[in-house]
Amino acid sequence: MKYALTAVVVAFTFTPLVAFSGGDPEHVKFPQGYEKTFTKYLTANRANQKQVAKLYANKTAISSYTQGKEGASGSVIIMEIYSTKTDTDGKPVPGDHGVFEIDSLAAVAVMEKQDKWDASFPAENRTGDWGFAVYNPDGTEKSNDLNCVQCHTPLQGQDYLFTYQKLVDFVKKP
Ligand code: HEC
């Protein structure tokens, strides 16, 4: 099960949106060139068992975790979301280590942590100090209606990251 992200996910219930709480591309920008400057710490099937995620952390996040701390201000985590190749039944085709075979990059989800966000960024659209936004692969905005805050807020004990333990384990590797 090393490559599956099954953890906390099943239990979410969805209440109608009261506040917006979605992604905010006005404040959380697309980190241009992240493929070259960020460190990839995980490739795994998504909890939805339909897509593959590749996870990247910037230098600030990697150095915080290396020191055994949660992400410092300026940390950025990226999740590339890939569609998968499917068989004749429409099921994703398993590849190496059970990770589905990738078809194409569908979206880039960004989480950025700042201890001093601009006052125009409503606190209810953030989780702790993390802001959210999701982009197309070319860096243009996607629909940001998903309630990012709702799903990530329960993960207070792990820096609000689903892949927290994977990042902790990754930085420990020699
Ligand atoms: C339905 C719950 C849910 C919602 C809504 C949600 N996420 Fe997540 N997010 C997850 C899960 C679960 C993961 C772990 C990877 C996976 O299995 O998809 C994750 C992982 C991430 C990651 C990688 C860091 C981490 O937490 O491990 C980023 C970045 C991210 N989400 C951004 C966003 C953004 C931006 C939005 C809003 C546009 C959003 N998420 C909305 C559940 C959610």
Those residues whose C-beta lies under 8 Å from the C-beta of residue 33, and which sit 6 or more positions away, are: none
Q: How many domains does the chain have?
A: 1
Asked if residue 51 belongs to a domain, the reply is yes
Of 32, 122, 61, 54, the residue nearest 132 (C-alpha)? 122
Q: Is residue 102 part of a domain?
A: yes
Q: Is residue 9 predicted with pLDDT exceeding 70?
A: no
Pocket of ligand 1 (CB under 6 A): 5, 9, 12, 22-23, 46-47, 53, 55, 77-79, 109-111, 132-134, 144, 146-148, 151-152, 161-163
Atom of ligand 1 nearest to the CA of 9: 12
We report the CATH number of the domain holding residue 41 as 3.50.70.20
| Distant-in-sequence contacts of 155-159, Cβ < 8 A, 24+ apart | 155/8, 156/128, 159/70, 159/71, 159/128
Q: What is the pTM of this model?
A: 0.90
Nearest CA residue ID for atom 2, ligand 1: 151
Mean pLDDT, all residues of the chain: 90
In a domain, 1, yes or no: no
Q: How many CB atoms lie within 10 A of CB 44?
A: 19
pLDDT of 22 reads 81
The span from the CA of 142 to the CA of 13, in Å, is: 24
Residue 2 lies in a domain: no
Q: Which atom from ligand 1 is nearest to the alpha carbon of 55?
A: 23
Compute how many other C-beta atoms are within 10 angstroms of the C-beta atom of residue 98. 12
Which residue has the CA at smallest separation from atom 21 of ligand 1?
79
* Cα 162 to ligand 1 centroid, rounded to whole Å: 7
> What is the rounded distance in angstroms from the CA atom of residue 61 to the CA atom of residue 148?
20
The structure tokens listed for 7 are: 């953890």
The answer to whether residue 109 is domain-embedded is yes
- Residue 58's domain spans which residues? 7-168
Task: Name the residue with the closest Cα to ligand 1, atom 8.
Answer: 148
Token pair, residue 26, equals: 């006005």
Residue 12 has pLDDT above 80, yes or no: no
Do residues 66 and 171 make contact, with C-beta atoms less than 8 angstroms apart?
yes
In a domain, 174, yes or no: no
Give the model confidence (pLDDT) of 98-156 as tens digits. Answer: 999 999 999 999 999 999 999 999 999 999 999 999 999 999 999 998 999 999 999 99
Check residue 173 and give its pLDDT: 86
